[in-house]
Chain A
Amino acid sequence: MLAQLSDALLQGETAQLMMLIHDIPPTQAFLSEQMTELVLEFQFECILDLIEPLMTDNH
């Protein structure tokens, strides 16, 4: 999921990112909203910076 998100962020296509957000379960509504807000503001770099440490942790 994170890898997919990272890929989509680097592609920089809003539509693709919106689809990923669409897949976030309704229980995580807050995350979904925050993400949408950031995506619509084209803050891809910001999200990327946030998830990059998580991804290296996974490794």
Chain B
Amino acid sequence: MDIHLNSITTLKIDNFITMTDSINTKGTILLIDDLPENLHLLNNLLIQLGYTVRSATSGKMALKMLSVKLPDVILLDIKMPDMDGFQVCTVIKADERLRDIPIIFISALNNATDKVKAFTCGGGDYITKPFQIEEIVVRIENQLLIQRQKIALQQEVKKRQETEEVLYQSRALLSNVLNSTLDGIAALQSVRASQTGEIEDFRCLVVNPAIAQAFNRSREELIGKLMLKRFLKRINPSLFERVVAVVETGEPLAEDIYYPLGESSWYHFAAVKLGDGVALAVRDVTARKNMELELQIANRELRLLAHLDGLTKIANRRCFDDFLQHQWRRLSRSQQQLSLLMLDVDFFKPYNDLYGHQRGDDCLVDIARTIQKIISRPTDLIARYGGEEFAIVLPETHQDGAIVIAQIIIKAIQNLKIPHQTSAISHYVTVSIGIASMIPVLDFSPDLLIEQSDQALYCAKQQGRNSYCVQSCIT
């Protein structure tokens, strides 16, 4: 080049400075050509078009430069001394770090063999000299585009791999949960009649080992099978229809079903809508159910015990209070008579002293049993009021009726002929009865009735025992 350097230097420098400042975004190109004039031409043209351009006059220098910084595209001359373009390309493509940089060969060689060689050693494109700058630019842009797409694709693939990994993990977790849970879990799809669209049965999509075990089948035998209808009908004729209703209404179903199988007999069965089908969860609740049943029985016994007198097996005081309160309210509404008899065993303390408490207890049991036989209406109640006192509640009974009952009781006790040597009035055990009758008034408590019958009882005792007295004698 015969240019007077001094004169153009300053101009060129200014030119370069403004250019590099304003661009650097279109991409970096490494030019490799042994001829400076070739480099010159491309260098200037490409810089003007907005590319960052790096230049090297030999393959050796180019490789040195590549170790510092990577360009986006390499434009590579084939015919060079020492190391030709094919060799440079081969070295670059063998380098892990460099191999992804696209290489465009530029050459005056225009035979197919060279072109094929260029592509087989890893070249991305081939430009024949002489060239138009437009062609160069289009081919560079092509390579840049391919490169960008490649990177985007790699990122996409990486993202997908990560997503896949996450999916795999969560699927593994889910299947672990499904496989290890003791509950039977199944997902079923509705099988509908083609004509009516009604659900005919369900097809097994997923079953876990626990449910397979309950069916005594392998999971493979169950998946894909239509078997729910037959199975549910066997347990309970309406169960299948109710599961169908779950799908049709979306309302979940949960209930305990009885299905004896081996050691288990009770299952909690839950069905929830899942798409056009159901998810079933079945849990063996035999132990819980048995406990519940035992509890129910125990509860019934307890309730009974709470209201029974342990010795005489008739109602206890607490039951009496509740019952009287209830009748008091009821009869005050219907304005009917309520009668109460208070009964006391005569000379019971001396009886106990002489015969002992065991015989005393036997005596009370006999008396309770005797009165119970007399009080036959289901609406009446006989209760042990305390010690040797009994209370007899007679709803819808007038004083006259109560007197008749009292007379019968006194007579019946006499007829028992329980020996009583320390009784001041008889050889046998006798009782005294106080009678009170009234139409209950809500403003008062039933204690009023108790009080009056108590006073009547006191009166009967005063009268010499083995007799009854009615409330009227007090007033």
Contacts and interface: CB of A to CB of B under 8 A. Distances in A.
B5 interface: yes
A18 B5 contact: no
Nearest to B16: A15
B19 A42 contact: no
B56 interface: yes
B280 interface: no
Interface stretch (B64-72, B426-434, B441-449, B461-469): B64-72
A33 B16 contact: no
Interface string A13-56: 11110110110000000000100110011111100100000000
Given A7-B68, A10-B68, A22-B13, A15 B19 contact: yes
Nearest to B1: A41
**Residue from A19, A21, A33, A42 whose CB has the most chain B CB atoms within 10 Å:** A42
Contacts of B6: 33
Interface of A: 7, 10-16, 18-19, 21-22, 33, 36-37, 40-45, 48
Nearest to A37: B5
B219 interface: no
Given A10-B65, A12-B30, A45 B60 contact: yes
Contact of A19 (B13, B55, B58, B60): B13
Give the dominant DSSP class at B's interface. helix
B9 A13 contact: no
Contacts of A19: 13, 16-17
B43 interface: yes
**Residue from A11, A13, A21, A48 whose CB has the most chain B CB atoms within 10 Å:** A13
Contacts of B92: none
A45 B57 contact: yes
Interface string B150-161: 000000000000
Interface in B7-54: 9, 12-13, 16-17, 19-20, 30, 36, 39-40, 43, 47, 52-54
